Structure 1
Amino acid sequence: MTSTQTGSATAAGAERAAHRDPNVLRWLGAYGSSAIGDNVYYLALSWAAVQAGTPAQAGLVTALSAVPRAVLMLGGGVVADRFGPRRVLISSDAVRCAAVLAVAGLLLVGRPGLWPLAALALVFGAVDAVMMPALGALPTRITGPGQLARVHGMRSLAVRLANVVGAPLGGLGVALGGTAGAFGLAGLLFAASLPLLIALRVAKKQPADDAHARGSAWSDLTGGLRHIRGHRVLLPLIVVIALSDLGFVGPLNVGLALLADERGWGAGGVGWVLAGFGTGAGAASLFLTTRGRVPRAGLVLSVSGVVSAVAIGTLAFVPNVATAVAVALSIGLISGLNGVLCGALLQAESGAAYVGRVTSVANFFSLGVAPLTFPLTGAAIGLWGTGPVFVASALVCGLGGVVGLCAGGLRRAELPR
């Protein structure tokens, strides 16, 4: 974000810490309500799909969202920059609310089968493609540049809370009102975010910020890519984010279950290891929320990427669950710190008119490409075992840290004060 960005929201954010700013807290409440609604929705969708079709059909329905999300993600960044992140988020949550309530109504009056669920999944994927870049662009317009790390720490805490609260709420909704009740609950949570988003104050854009709107959507997209390509911090930072996610998500989401099965730890062991990771990540988020800024952020995130890679490789060779939990705790701490710093630097270094598009490129790798490693990780473990695959994944993560250390612009990058 450029230092010339002005407006009442930015000025207000600069005068007080983000966690004491009512405007930022409104955003956090809206984000938290929407994130909990996401968790309730995904549980309701999975349950409804299992009830309406075969296991294979249910898996296909729950995976459908990934297709439009990956295909449309880069275009979503253009939409966020053209129309403003607040307007996009209000529209997105309104569409999501209407869609899940419509499906809840269909489920109340009959058994519509899989087609409405498939259509709902596609709608959510398309909406996510424009919503996620807007989520990334909004913090730069509601707080001062020196508060970005704190805001990302708060956002990460909200995600952890949503993951803990959302699934039990969804299960309660199914138990009390069936899948229609769970979808209805998700719709209410999306609706609850709307008044908070409407009340949000955002900084006014500079005249220069609107210059890109005169071109076509394609020129906006290519302009955003050129902005990244010519930037001494953003280009290596995007590479670091891509490599870190490509090496990290496979072992955590697929490899861990296979490792527990191989070692005889059972589902309980997986739960304990994931709890260790979540505790570490939550602690890192809380630290950054209270501290607000980490000196030499570029160097710290690059070193943390290398250290995290060593811990990921070590996880495949620990002798028991207790040691695995301790290693997972350290991975959570390090990766939690790394993730917040990457997000804060990404927004701090992006030009004010390009934040949505820059965020969409990072999200394309994190949410579009990285999940493709799930089946590859499973197949590779089937061929070579957990040890070699975890080490190979760790090397990919470590390469991200090495890129950061070798890129002088990123290595010397600082968060705004």
Structure 2
Amino acid sequence: MRRARVRPARNFWLAGTRASLVGDAALYLALSWAASAHGGQMAALVLSAITLPRTVLLLLGGAVGDRFGARRVMITGDVVMLAAVLALAVAARTWGTPAWMLLGFATVVGTVDAFYLPATGSMPRRLVSKEQLPRAMALRQAGGQVASLLGAPLGAVLVAMAGLSGTALVDACSFAAVLAVMVWVRPVAEAERPPRAESLLAGIADGVKLAATDPVLRPALLLTAAAAAGLLPAVALLSPLLARSNGWGPGSAGLVAAGQGVGILLAAPLAARLGPMHRIGVGTSLGLALAAVGLAGLTAAPAPAAAIAAAMVAGAGSGVFSCHIGPLVLVGAPDTHLSRVQSLLTLVQSLALVVATNVLGWLANAAGARSAIVVCAVLGCVAGVAGLASTPLRGLRQAGS
């Protein structure tokens, strides 16, 4: 009876959280649009008001998720965000979009994210068995990509038709939906929690120590940092610069970015259908290497069509990497440290992305976008080879295989 409920619970949770991502993406576009009316500096401050508290509080959020339970943290976060977006809708309708209001709301979003992201990242492990985890993570990856692709166009339509207030109401509906799902869904088994006598600070230190010393988690986090630094900025930041330098125009740059999304969308459902490689550590490393091949092709592309095809290969490699690294980290983490390991995973990715974006932007200005993309390809290739050379990762197999 209990086993029969697992699959519907997973499916409802997956549908609810992906729907919420669509609403969030639409609202973020509306928020950025409203902030841009106050000038570029204010728009940057609003985005920073989301990123800064999220980054600073992530490790605390992971410790809280392990101490009090991921489901409880998610329900609390959904309640807070539902109240916040409803307040934003009323305030925007009454006062318009003053800068102080946008900054205040962005700070709330970043703070809630710091606690919510580690909790939701650990939920697949709590909802399905280790054998089902790789396919569940692949479905989550595919759903997240679809949500990202749908959210921005939806946000543009909503902003044009209903402004920030109307977009906030739509996002409130998505938070209400995921809140209802979280109230209904319960984990297969409650994970063992750290002792109450342990302080949150000690819990954070324990999580960092585990990740730094574990033979699987340590290289997995390093590969995640390499992927964030080498793969994410390559298409989002550098491909428009490459298109501009080649005289291809903004349409081609958009199609290159779309090609990456298509590649991810092709890889994730395939992994969900067939399952990842039995040697899941090898699959993680090969995904990075495949993405590096795509980036190398992007640097050599003589025309937009070739660049789009190369971006699809890079996206497919990114998708393969994501579909393997997620279950690898979740399976490798102890039950008592699931949220803390997820917070470290997010933190490592965020810091690597921030540093790499600025360094690669400087390099693109100094030596050209093509040279910067070559650096990304080399980084991905080196990381893939290092992963294959890691004995713990190379020997790691899926649960049950």
Using the size of structure 2 for normalisation, the TM-score is 0.95
Deviation at 1:352, TM superposition (A): 0.7
User: Which of the residues 325, 331, 334 maps onto 1:351?
Assistant: 334
For the pair 1:110 / 2:95, whether they are aligned, the reply is yes
Change (3 A) 1:272 1:205: same
Cα distance between partner residues in 2 of 1:48 and 1:100: 15
For the pair 1:185 / 2:170, whether they are aligned, the reply is yes
* Structure 2 match to 1:360: 343
Change (3 A) 1:128 1:29: same
Deviation at 1:343, TM superposition (A): 0.5
* Paired residues of 2:291 and 2:316 also in contact (CA < 8 A): no
Cα distance between partner residues in 1 of 2:361 and 2:15: 37
User: Which of the residues 214, 221, 227 maps onto 1:238?
Assistant: 221
For the pair 1:309 / 2:292, whether they are aligned, the reply is yes
Counterpart mapping for 1:6-405 below 5 A: 8=2, 13=6, 21-51=7-37, 53-111=38-96, 113-205=98-190, 209-405=192-388
What is the aligned length? 400
One-letter amino acid of the structure 2 residue matched with residue 62 of structure 1? L
Paired residue secondary structure (1:354): helix
Change (3 A) 1:122 1:107: same
One-letter amino acid of the structure 1 residue matched with residue 71 of structure 2? R
Deviation at 1:103, TM superposition (A): 1.4
Cα distance between partner residues in 2 of 1:352 and 1:69: 24
Cα distance between partner residues in 2 of 1:129 and 1:189: 19
Change (3 A) 1:112 1:257: closer
* Paired residues of 1:279 and 1:332 also in contact (CA < 8 A): yes
Paired residue secondary structure (1:202): coil
One-letter amino acid of the structure 2 residue matched with residue 47 of structure 1? W
Cα distance between partner residues in 2 of 1:70 and 1:369: 12
Segments of structure 2 that go 5 or more residues without pairing to the other structure are: none
Cα distance between partner residues in 2 of 1:262 and 1:212: 57
Deviation at 1:118, TM superposition (A): 0.4
Cα distance between partner residues in 2 of 1:385 and 1:25: 46
Deviation at 1:8, TM superposition (A): 4.1
Greater Cα shift, 261-270 or 306-315: 306-315
* Paired residues of 2:289 and 2:317 also in contact (CA < 8 A): no
Cα distance between partner residues in 2 of 1:416 and 1:110: 55
Cα distance between partner residues in 1 of 2:377 and 2:46: 32
Cα distance between partner residues in 2 of 1:253 and 1:392: 15
Cα distance between partner residues in 2 of 1:88 and 1:55: 34
* Paired residues of 1:31 and 1:158 also in contact (CA < 8 A): no
* Paired residues of 1:72 and 1:129 also in contact (CA < 8 A): yes
For the pair 1:407 / 2:390, whether they are aligned, the reply is yes
Pairwise CA RMSD of aligned residues?
1.7
Segments of structure 1 that go 5 or more residues without pairing to the other structure are: 1-6, 14-20
Paired residue secondary structure (2:231): helix
Per-residue CA deviation, residues 218-269 of structure 1 (Å, 9 max, x unaligned), is: 1111111222223221111111111121112222221111011111111110
Paired residue secondary structure (1:146): coil
One-letter amino acid of the structure 2 residue matched with residue 25 of structure 1? N
Deviation at 1:348, TM superposition (A): 0.8
* Paired residues of 1:152 and 1:344 also in contact (CA < 8 A): yes
Which of the pair has the greater relative contact order for Cα pairs under 8 Å at 6+ separation?
A: 1
* Paired residues of 1:244 and 1:398 also in contact (CA < 8 A): no
Cα distance between partner residues in 1 of 2:2 and 2:63: 25
Using the size of structure 1 for normalisation, the TM-score is 0.92
Cα distance between partner residues in 2 of 1:177 and 1:167: 15
Percent identity over the alignment is 31
* Paired residues of 2:286 and 2:321 also in contact (CA < 8 A): no
Deviation at 1:411, TM superposition (A): 1.0
* Paired residues of 2:235 and 2:311 also in contact (CA < 8 A): no
